[in-house]
Amino acid sequence: MVAVGMDKPGTVHGEQQSRPEVAQEAQPSGGRSPSLDLLVDEHEEEESIDGRTVRHRGIYLLPNLFTTGALFAGFYAIIAAMRGNYEAAPMAIFVAMVFDGLDGRVARLTNTSSKFGAEYDSLSDMVSFGVAPALVVFSWALGDLGKFGWSVAFIYVACAALRLARFNTQIDTADKKYFTGLASPAAASIIASAVWVCHDAGWVGDALPHELAVLVGLLTAIVGFLMIANFPYYSFKGIDFRSRVPFVVMIAIVLVFGLVTVDPPRILLFSFLAYAASGPVSQFLKWRRRHGSQR
């Protein structure tokens, strides 16, 4: 009976004193409370370095901030279209395109690329360049076309998803200088600029001709199929922004900016339509040269 009340190793009091040590070991690193740890698990990634598997905790902040900006801009485009603001909605898609172009560049320049960032960027692209353009054009013109309208809108969304899935599976083996199929940001830019041009022309609501709505629906489906086609498109990833260039290149860039400011929606629409046509044209020229050499 006396031994039970003594503070010796193996006694009851000794066991009670060891419990705070166990609780301290279970305390998560970084000073977070156990209740917060139950809600949010720390992200971990595995990376192979010199044949060794290295585990990294957390995510890189800077590139994911740009990805979040692209996601927000795509979401805002949907909200603007629901409110009938068909000028702000296309602009938001172009803002998402700028952020999407920056997050990858920043990740490569700062050596902060990660699997999490790649997956997050892909999901953001699906919202900003897949769902958002389809809902914007559907709210503007395709909603009055019945089944044809929502069918072509769905075709565009499905093709964007298929294009992103194929890109993710071929990212390690594909040629970095070319895309296979029209990139989803370029496809979204065609849809957004088309809506922007028609809005500037006053073709909104009852003033929108039925024939034009059908034409835009066909354009939406064609652009969707171009995303999953096997046409090669130059990716512009081979441009080295850190190298020196001739002074005339800077003059050309200034002229391009000046040309865009003259009539942004029409210049952007024609530019991205020309880029979309470059894939089939280059494929046709390759086919023609191949058959010409066999004769």
Average pLDDT of the residues in 94-116:
90
The DSSP call for residue 58 is S
Min mean pLDDT across 17-31, 143-157, 268-282 is at 17-31
Average pLDDT of the residues in 251-263:
91
Distances in Å between the Cα of 285 and the Cα atoms of 227, 231, 241, 281 are: 20, 12, 30, 6
Name the H helices within the chain.
12-26, 34-39, 61-82, 88-109, 115-126, 132-140, 147-169, 184-200, 210-228, 247-262, 264-294
Question: Higher confidence at residue 243 or residue 57?
Answer: 243
Question: Residue 128 is encoded by which pair of tokens?
Answer: 């900003």
Other CB atoms within a 10 A radius of the CB of residue 261 amount to 9
The phi, psi pair for 55, rounded to 5°, reads -100, 130
Long-range contacts formed by 73-77: CB under 8 A, 24+ apart: 73/99, 73/128, 74/124, 74/127, 74/128, 74/129, 74/131, 74/132, 75/127, 75/128, 75/132, 77/128, 77/132, 77/133, 77/136, 77/192
Min mean pLDDT across 31-35, 119-123, 147-151, 282-286 is at 31-35
| Contact indicator for 156, 132 with CB cutoff of 8 Å | no
* C-alpha span between 281 and 175 (Å, rounded): 19
Residue 173 is predicted with a pLDDT of 76
Closest CA to 160 of 125, 192, 190, 117: 125
Distances in Å between the Cα of 138 and the Cα atoms of 38, 81, 152 are: 41, 9, 9
Residue 3 is predicted with a pLDDT of 47
Whether 92 shows a pLDDT value over 80: the answer reads: yes
Whether 183 shows a pLDDT value over 70: the answer reads: yes
Q: Which helix (H) or strand (E) holds 143?
A: none
pLDDT band at 44 (very low <50, low <70, confident <90, very high): low
Question: Higher confidence at residue 85 or residue 240?
Answer: 85
Mean pLDDT score of the chain, rounded to an integer? 84
Question: Higher confidence at residue 184 or residue 46?
Answer: 184
Average pLDDT of the residues in 214-231:
96
Residue with tokens 């003033």: 207
Question: Higher confidence at residue 254 or residue 31?
Answer: 254
Other CB atoms within a 10 A radius of the CB of residue 143 amount to 14
Question: Higher confidence at residue 279 or residue 112?
Answer: 279
Q: CB burial class (10 A; 0-12, 13-18, 19+) of residue 47?
A: exposed
Instruction: Using a pLDDT cut of 90, give the percent of the chain over it.
Output: 58
Whether 239 shows a pLDDT value over 80: the answer reads: no
Amino acid at 49: I
Min mean pLDDT across 26-40, 105-119, 235-249 is at 26-40
pLDDT band at 16 (very low <50, low <70, confident <90, very high): very low
* C-alpha span between 157 and 220 (Å, rounded): 10
Condensed to tens digits (0 to 9), the pLDDT of residues 113-170 reads 888 888 999 999 999 999 999 999 999 999 999 999 999 999 999 999 999 999 988 8
Average pLDDT of the residues in 53-66:
78
Crossing angle for the helix pair 61-82 and 88-109, to the nearest 10 degrees:
170
End-to-end Cα spacing for the chain: 107
Whether 294 shows a pLDDT value over 60: the answer reads: yes
The phi, psi pair for 232, rounded to 5°, reads -85, 135
Average pLDDT of the residues in 76-104:
95
